[in-house]
């Protein structure tokens, strides 16, 4: 801690958030001798995994890549038990990381940041906490999560519901007794899809209110064998590196062929084999172009609709579950654990609210098409103000007294590599907006290590401020838009109201909030910035020469 002002605690770095990002940041920034404090509004570490306690919560990524690789002690001692670890296991993993790396002494829980303001005269950030006290730091790091600010459905009367009503990410930690209860679930994204089989197993009756159906790839979660764990420990660096060289941060094979260059039989065989592999294997390993070719995406969509019709016994329910208004990858593909099969249970009912939206929530239930569905418990699996929501909920005030929220409302989403924002000196984001859509521990770890080297550079070279230039931001926005438009995810995502284009929050500007050019490409770009002495983050340094081929201006497609 500095001693510039004895009345206000002053650190080299304050990090907001104690999930994967905050823990990695603390470990790596402490390694270079920076006094670092992590604050989190929650009363435990884990971030997303502290907050999300809904029935059935687990990772959609597999255990081997949903972890850090930087600590030999952690990777040797931690024991994974399931292919897709449950929320409780991930939370325990993060608590283990915090204990094993002795992080807790620099983490302050139950501490909510309401405002952070930069002063050019002192070159310090001043943070105001909910209790009115203040902190100061040279560097401010947000590790607030990209899917952490819940969105409630814009339905009249929601607050009048007489029974318990819980958003998936605000599920009570002590659980909810659903025995003999009539449960209504609004939302069929990754959260609702994980939840349904478990709700149905406990409740008397579950009514699923579905607006846009999803393409769910089913999977199983067998125990991790001692041999698998031993093999992972032996090959940890190679597994992590393989994930880091994959566009989506998973250690998976690259497909060899386009879906358009094989015949119907072969296409079906490939789809079937990767359907059997389950989860993200289907999206990542079938063909080179499921994400870039509308025809290839349409083939995958038809294959999954076929699976839905095979599994779901009632033809009307099956048809209602089949997405038709957008194609595969128009939403981030969720992993199911008996999702479609749950609709074969007598106590599960699907109510299609696409054509006839929910008109009202009453004290007794949910009204659709003039029919009141009576409920005891309401589950709101209605998603998040993704990528920017947690950042704009805090008043982060940069130069000229402008907040991040005002800046992005005025100018559109602008960041440099999702790491920093012009006008906000010495402010850095872990997996901020416009970073790759990815299995997150990979970019989280890489990002913390990149920032460690950037701040070492700044200290060693007397650079007082790192701050993206306007030119760098404009370049990254154009590149993010270009990369997004080169996929089917932009056009289909807009049709589907996907969170990665901001389509799920009424009134939010629709723009690419993630980078779809590939995690590996992104890592290379970050390396170029580093190789060129943090060009792009220093006034007058221009852009790294490798960013823009000579004579070319990046175009928004």
Q: How far is the CB of 227 from ligand N01 (least distance, A)?
A: 26
Whether 156 contacts 30, CB under 8 Å: no
Exposed e or buried b per residue across 328-359, where buried means at least 16 C-beta atoms within 10 angstroms of its C-beta: bbbbbbbbbbbbbbbbeeeebebbbbeeeebe
H/E run at residue 360 = strand 358-361
Q: Is 211 in the site for ligand N01 (CB under 6 A)?
A: yes
Q: Is 192 in the site for ligand N01 (CB under 6 A)?
A: yes
The structure tokens 């435990």 sit at 44
Whether 18 contacts 38, CB under 8 Å: yes
Neighbouring-strand partners of residue 185? 208, 379
Residue from the set 93, 209, 240, 328 that interacts with ligand N01 by CB under 6 A: 209
Q: Beta strand 395-397 with 113-119: parallel, antiparallel or unpaired?
A: parallel
Q: Is 188 in the site for ligand N01 (CB under 6 A)?
A: yes
By beta-carbon proximity to ligand N01, the closer residue of 48 and 137 is 48
Cα–Cα distance for residue pair 57/51, rounded to 1 Å: 11
Instruction: Provide CB contacts within 8 A for 140, sequence distance 6+.
Output: 13, 14, 16, 116, 118, 125, 127, 396, 426, 427, 428
The torsion angles phi and psi of 2, rounded to 5 degrees, stand at: -75, 170
Q: How far is the CB of 64 from ligand N01 (least distance, A)?
A: 15
Q: Is 60 in the site for ligand N01 (CB under 6 A)?
A: yes
By beta-carbon proximity to ligand N01, the closer residue of 126 and 194 is 194
Q: Binding to ligand N01 (CB under 6 A): which residues in 444-503?
A: 497, 499
- Select from 15-23, 189-197, 365-373, 538-546 the region that touches ligand N01 (CB under 6 A): 189-197
Residue from the set 381, 512, 514, 525 that interacts with ligand N01 by CB under 6 A: 381
By beta-carbon proximity to ligand N01, the closer residue of 75 and 211 is 211
Reading the block at residue 333, the tokens are: 């593909």
Cα–Cα distance for residue pair 384/153, rounded to 1 Å: 10
Largest CA distance in the chain: 73
Q: Is 358 in the site for ligand N01 (CB under 6 A)?
A: yes
Residue from the set 147, 196, 366, 543 that interacts with ligand N01 by CB under 6 A: 147
Q: How far is the CB of 46 from ligand N01 (least distance, A)?
A: 13
Collapse the DSSP code of 289 into the 3-class scheme (helix H, G, I; strand E, B; otherwise coil) and give the result: coil
DSSP codes joined into one string, 196-250: HHHHHHHBSEEEEEESS---PEE---PBPPHHHHHHHHHTHHHHHHHHHTSTTS-
Q: How far is the CB of 252 from ligand N01 (least distance, A)?
A: 16
Residue from the set 46, 189, 447, 502 that interacts with ligand N01 by CB under 6 A: 189
Cα–Cα distance for residue pair 557/543, rounded to 1 Å: 21
Residue from the set 94, 183, 353, 368 that interacts with ligand N01 by CB under 6 A: 353
By beta-carbon proximity to ligand N01, the closer residue of 30 and 91 is 91
- Select from 58-66, 338-346, 416-424, 505-513 the region that touches ligand N01 (CB under 6 A): 58-66
Q: Is 212 in the site for ligand N01 (CB under 6 A)?
A: yes
Q: Is 190 in the site for ligand N01 (CB under 6 A)?
A: yes
Whether 335 contacts 192, CB under 8 Å: no
Q: Binding to ligand N01 (CB under 6 A): which residues in 168-187?
A: 168, 186-187
Q: Is 504 in the site for ligand N01 (CB under 6 A)?
A: yes
- Select from 29-37, 38-46, 206-214, 543-551 the region that touches ligand N01 (CB under 6 A): 206-214
Q: Is 153 in the site for ligand N01 (CB under 6 A)?
A: yes
Q: How far is the CB of 114 from ligand N01 (least distance, A)?
A: 25
Residues in contact with ligand N01 by the rule CB under 6 A:
58-60, 147, 153-155, 168, 186-192, 194, 209, 211-212, 332, 353, 358, 381-384, 497, 499, 504
């Amino acid at each position: 801690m500095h001693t510039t002002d004895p009345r206000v605690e002053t650190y080299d770095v304050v990090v907001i958030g104690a999930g994967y990002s905050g823990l990695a940041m603390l470990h790596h920034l402490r390694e270079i001798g920076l006094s670092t404090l992590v604050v989190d509004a929650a009363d435990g570490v884990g971030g997303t995994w502290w907050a999300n306690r809904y029935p059935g919560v687990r990772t959609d990524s597999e255990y081997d890549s949903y972890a850090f690789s930087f600590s030999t002690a952690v990777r040797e001692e931690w024991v994974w038990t399931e292919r897709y670890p449950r929320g409780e296991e991930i939370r325990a993993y993060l608590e283990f990381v915090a204990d094993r790396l002795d992080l807790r002494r620099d983490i302050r829980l139950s501490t909510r940041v309401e405002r952070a303001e930069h002063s050019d005269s002192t070159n310090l950030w001043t943070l105001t906490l909910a209790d009115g006290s203040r902190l100061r730091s040279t560097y401010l790091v947000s590790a607030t999560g990209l899917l952490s600010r819940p969105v409630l459905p814009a339905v009249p009367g929601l607050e009048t519901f007489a029974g318990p009503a819980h958003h998936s990410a605000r599920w009570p930690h002590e659980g909810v007794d659903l025995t003999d209860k009539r449960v209504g679930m609004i939302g069929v994204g990754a959260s609702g899809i994980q939840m349904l089989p478990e709700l149905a197993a406990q409740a008397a009756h579950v009514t699923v209110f579905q607006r846009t159906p999803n393409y769910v790839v089913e999977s199983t979660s067998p125990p991790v064998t001692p041999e698998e764990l031993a093999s992972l420990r032996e090959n940890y660096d190679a597994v992590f590196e393989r994930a880091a060289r994959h566009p989506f941060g998973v250690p998976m094979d690259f497909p060899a062929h386009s879906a358009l260059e094989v015949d119907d039989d072969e296409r079906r065989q490939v789809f079937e084999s990767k359907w059997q592999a389950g989860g993200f294997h289907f999206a990542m390993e079938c063909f080179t172009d499921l994400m870039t070719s509308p025809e290839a995406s349409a083939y995958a969509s038809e294959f999954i609709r076929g699976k839905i019709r095979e599994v779901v016994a009632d033809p009307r329910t099956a048809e209602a579950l089949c997405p038709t208004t957008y194609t595969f990858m128009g939403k981030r593909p969720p992993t199911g654990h008996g999702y479609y099969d749950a609709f074969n249970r007598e106590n599960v009912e699907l109510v299609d609210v696409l054509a006839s939206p929910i008109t009202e929530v009453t004290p007794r239930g949910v009204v659709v098409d003039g029919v009141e569905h009576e409920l005891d418990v309401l589950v709101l699996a209605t998603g998040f103000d993704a990528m920017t929501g947690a950042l704009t909920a805090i008043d982060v005030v940069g130069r000229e007294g402008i907040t991040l929220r005002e800046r992005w409302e005025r100018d559109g989403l602008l960041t440099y590599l999702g790491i920093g924002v012009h006008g906000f000196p010495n402010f850095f984001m872990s997996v901020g907006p416009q970073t790759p859509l990815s299995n997150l521990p990979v970019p989280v770890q890489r990002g913390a290590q990149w920032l460690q080297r950037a701040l070492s550079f700044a200290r060693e070279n007397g650079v007082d401020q790192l701050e993206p230039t306007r030119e760098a931001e404009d370049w990254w926005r154009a590149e993010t838009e270009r990369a997004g438009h080169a996929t089917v995810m932009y056009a289909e995502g807009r049709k589907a109201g996907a969170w990665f284009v901001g389509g799920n929050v009424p009134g939010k500007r629709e723009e690419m909030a993630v980078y779809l050019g590939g995690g590996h490409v992104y890592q290379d770009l970050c390396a170029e910035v580093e190789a060129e002495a943090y060009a792009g983050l220093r006034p007058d340094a221009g852009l790294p020469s490798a960013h823009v081929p000579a004579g070319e201006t990046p175009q928004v497609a």
